[in-house]
Amino acid sequence: MIRFLLFSIILCLTLQLSAQSFRATQQKASRVKDAYTEKWEGLRSELKKKGINENFELFMRVFKEDKLVEVWLKSKGEKEYKLFKTYTICASSGELGPKRKQGDGQVPEGFYSIAAFNPYSSYHLSLGVSYPNASDKIIGKGNLGGDIMIHGSCVTIGCMPLTDTYIKEVYILAVEAKNNGQQTIQVHIFPTKMDEKGMKFLADTNEKNLDFWKNLKTGYDYFEQKKQLPKFTIDKSGKYFFSEK
């Protein structure tokens, strides 16, 4: 029993140190350290006003046509996310529709997560997105490309750029979420807001992608209704299947 308790204590301390070290490691980069100096106290104040604990989890939604990145947060232990802030995408490339190959200039569409933190990015700070995902690998052909990011510097070929001021906030919020122990930070990328008006717009824009967009809408609707992240699997055709279990 004593050995078990000692093991549990050591494990908890190890996990805490590991979590704390991520923030500390990131802050060794001057851009991240400066971002914390400039932005963190203001963000903490906004968190308090919105009733969000600093021990939060993060989720992002991107809307290509609307040129928006939404940052949603929820305090640990709570079920529902709250919209924290909305940021404007300051440059774009490609057209509405998924990314299916390298060099097409497209911003992906689908369900992704943050795959990398780059505090030394050529675009000030960047968060790598997990494109191609399993669906992309099934539906896409040939070289699918990669290196899709949410980043600063306001230039892009297939990424989601913010101003340097905005990326500082988004980046350190993501650092905090990971530092709090969040292993997977989901990023859902949609062509536009997929309400009735948005779906009519998409049907008029590009009918060939409509079935794909209707599939994405199922996940969009789930979050809209519950403010919780949908669970999904991907079948052999690349289609998303959503469930509550």
Active-site option among 90, 151, 154, 188:
151
Q: Which of 99, 115, 117 is nearest to 107 (CA)?
A: 99
Active-site option among 124, 154, 159, 188:
159
∠ CA 125-94-85 to the nearest 5 degrees? 45
Six token digits for residue 130? 């997990």
Per-position b or e across 61-76, b if 16+ CB within 10 A of its CB = bbbbbbebbbbbbbbe
Six token digits for residue 232? 């999904």
Q: Please name the residue ranges forming H helices in 66-148.
A: 134-139
151 given a catalytic annotation: yes
Residue partners of 13: CB distance under 8 A and separation at least 6 = none
- 217-to-4, 85, 101 alpha-carbon distances in Å: 47, 22, 23
Q: Using omega within 30 degrees of 0 as the cis cutoff, is the peptide bond preceding 132 cis?
A: yes
The partner residues of 74 in beta bridges, in order of sequence, read 57
- 10-to-5, 23, 79, 83, 86 alpha-carbon distances in Å: 9, 21, 29, 36, 40
**Phi, psi dihedrals of residue 233, rounded to the nearest 5°:** -125, 170
**Positions marked active-site:** 151, 159
